[in-house]
Amino acid sequence: MRFDQTRYQIFITTQMVELIMEDRQITEMEALRMFIDSEVYQMVSDSLLNMWEFSPLAIFDMWEHEIATGDPRNSLYIRGDEIE
């Protein structure tokens, strides 16, 4: 079975919109705009980054770190630090 980047992007975007709506108590359109305007969305859109290896909750964590710090790379999922 071949990996389908477009289906993956649709799946992650749908999941992210739901998570953002619930977390921020905002409308679907507001959540969609917030996600599409993010660097994380650009990362998910780049097939070379293999973001499909991450769960929707890990992607959400990256997005939250981008919102809080300006850089999704501050997420433990990217840094790879161990939690003590």
The whole-chain average pLDDT of the chain stands at 92
Q: For residue 35, which of 51, 52, 5, 59 has the smallest C-alpha distance?
A: 59
In a domain, 40, yes or no: yes
Domain region containing 45: 5-79
Percent of the chain with pLDDT over 90: 77
CA distances from 40 to 2, 28, 83 (A): 24, 18, 23
Q: How many domains does the chain have?
A: 1
* 73-79 mean pLDDT: 90
Q: What is the pLDDT of residues 16-29, one digit of tens each?
A: 999 999 999 999 99
Residue 80 in this model has a pLDDT that exceeds 70: yes
In a domain, 84, yes or no: no
Query: 76 phi and psi, to 5 degrees?
Result: -60, -25
Question: pTM of the prediction?
Answer: 0.88
Q: What is the pLDDT of residues 6-60, one digit of tens each?
A: 899 999 999 999 999 999 999 999 999 999 999 999 999 998 998 999 999 999 9
In a domain, 61, yes or no: yes
In a domain, 65, yes or no: yes
pLDDT value at position 1? 61
In a domain, 53, yes or no: yes
